[in-house]
Amino acid sequence: MIRNLFLALLLPTFAMAQTAAEMEAAYAPIQQLFDGMRAGDSSMVRQAFFPGARLQSAFISREGEPQLSEGSIEAFITAVGTPHDEQWDERIWSSDIRIDGRLATAWTEYTFFRGDKLSHCGVNAFHLFNSEEGWKITQITDTRRREGCREEAQDEAASIHQLLDNWHKAAATADADAFFGAMTPDGVYLGTDASERWRRDELREWAKAAFEREVAWAFTPSDRRIYFSQDGRTAWFEEKLATWMGPCRGSGVLSKTVEGWKIRQYNLAVLVPNEKIQGVIKLMKE
């Protein structure tokens, strides 16, 4: 009891794990805002905001100058409630919510559609306050662009499966550009030997001779499992591998970059059955 109390005092509040229920509650007014926009319901939209809330946009002007403009919440609410021919549909692709006490922030990627026509995209940076009436939006600052906008939800797990399958295939076909291009520049590869820790370019130099053959190495993956961070920008995985060494396990971390998912760390381990570990230990001592 005393130890747990000490840890609670030692760790800052924001380091405590946020529960799914807490994040869902903080996100509720954001969902209410966009549901109200789609329905053209200004009353629903108004209820999502805390009194005195601010609305801002960060952008580059036509003259190439950085600008931070401020709009009127009341004008925005009126615009939402004014009948228009097309539905206003702001689709959120990902969200990163952080909570500390009665303060929360949310970073959301979005694409805005007027009916079926793509208008613009960017990110929303929300500030929220947990008032007596629950969570309310106190400020939104957004960015806006018309290039590189996502038009539909992506199957991120499928993208990662494809990346890893292609990565193993690149090793099996000695395609160095594809293999090392799937890793971040600071990516780390951990081999089965204790000395085998390479950054991407170090591994490329070490494996140069292997990639000059028809096959660098051939690992066949199976039983892969993928996990995602709450903000959807980081993923980690584990997979079984059939290799020339026998059964192995690969695991690693991926980051979502402007070029898509990239491998930031890969860890290769040989699997040793428990009933054979004593023999391995004895061999290691020789």
- Domain residue extents for the chain: 12-143, 156-273
- Which residue matches tokens 């009933």? 275
Report domain 156-273's class: alpha beta
Span 115-136, pLDDT tens digits: 999 999 999 999 999 999 999 9
| Secondary structure E strands in the chain | 49-60, 66-71, 88-100, 103-114, 117-131, 134-143, 183-190, 197-199, 220-228, 234-243, 246-257, 260-270
3-state DSSP assignment of residue 144 = coil
Question: Structure pTM?
Answer: 0.70
Among 233, 276, 283, 278, residue whose Cα is nearest residue 258: 233
Q: What pLDDT score was predicted for residue 5?
A: 35
Neighbours of 192 (CB within 10 A): 12
Span 18-59, pLDDT tens digits: 788 999 999 999 999 999 999 999 999 999 999 999 999 999
Beta-carbon contacts of 22 under 8 Å, excluding residues fewer than 6 positions away, are 99
Span 142-182, pLDDT tens digits: 999 999 899 988 899 999 999 999 999 999 999 999 999 99
Q: Where are the alpha helices (DSSP H) in the chain?
A: 2-10, 20-39, 42-47, 73-81, 156-172, 176-181, 200-206, 277-285
Among 99, 112, 104, residue whose Cα is nearest residue 142: 112
Assign 17 a pLDDT band (cuts: 50, 70, 90).
low
Contact 76, 161 (CB under 8 A): no
Q: Do domains 12-143 and 156-273 have the same CATH topology?
A: yes
Q: How far is CA 141 from the centre of its chain?
A: 20
CATH classification for the domain delimited by 12-143, as one of 3.10.20.600, 3.10.450.50, 3.10.620.30, 3.40.50.2300: 3.10.450.50
